[in-house]
Amino acid sequence: MTGILRVVLADDDSLIRTAIDAILRPVDDIELVAQAADGRAAVELTVRHRPDVALLDIQMPVMDGLAALREIRRAAPAVRVIVLTTFGEDEYVTQALSGGAAGFLLKESAAEELAYAIRAAAAGNAYLSPRITRQVLDRMPATTVRPGPDQTLVEGLSSREREVLILLAQGLSNAEIAQQLFVSEGTVKTHVYRVFTKLNCENRVQAAMLAQRSGLLDPP
């Protein structure tokens, strides 16, 4: 992905829109081209501007973010959508991902994480906040793990890739994983990419759930 990434933002809170605008304004490769205060306007602006990425709040008037997501996926399927919200409930994550979202971020995410998520989404990848990955796993009921396809997939990982997968599933960010393993963040990103490829996963939640089902997270 080269050039400037164009973004449409939808949030009914003007302070949030101002804050995100302030975060993205200094970022050289990202341009905020339009802002909306409700879901219907978000759909209209996205269809009009055809941005690379649309950032959508969930709770908005006229049309909520999940409904706007579905409309955008129908009307402008090339636009990647990141759901940006103060909420981290797993039901929202499930609905957003099943609706075709390319990312799910909490509004309290760091500026660097927001920019990274936009770049990842525009490049065709999925991104979820590490905190959301951990929360989804915490809400999953405990199950007895038996040998199966998930374990076979995990066995295909290198020892370092398994370490990265375990830390990822514990909710650590790439930067935190790098600190734990005493490697660069770029090296961690490479390992995460390889883990996703080998496990046929699109995002951190899918990889973490597979790690849990395989028994990789069980105490020794």
Q: Is 200 helix (H, G, I), strand (E, B) or coil?
A: coil
Alpha helix ranges (H) inside the chain: 14-24, 39-49, 65-75, 90-98, 111-122, 130-139, 149-155, 159-169, 174-181, 185-199, 204-213
Q: Write down the pLDDT at residue 42.
A: 97
Residue pLDDT, tens place only, 194-209: 998 998 887 777 788 7
Q: Give me the average pLDDT of each 10-residue run along the chain (220 residues).
A: 86 94 93 97 97 95 94 94 77 79 84 88 80 67 45 84 89 85 92 90 78 73
Which residues are registered as beta bridge partners of 105? Answer: 84
The pLDDT of residue 21:
94
Tokens 């599933």 — which residue?
169
pTM attached to this predicted model: 0.71
In the prediction, which pLDDT does 87 show?
A: 62
The per-residue b/e assignment along 147-166, b for 16 or more CB within 10 angstroms, e otherwise, is eeebeebbeebeeebbebbe
* Residue 203 pLDDT: 75
In 3D, which of 70, 124, 48 has the Cα closest to residue 56? 70
pLDDT at 182: 94
Q: What is the pLDDT of residue 148?
A: 43
Looking at residue 160, its pLDDT comes to: 95
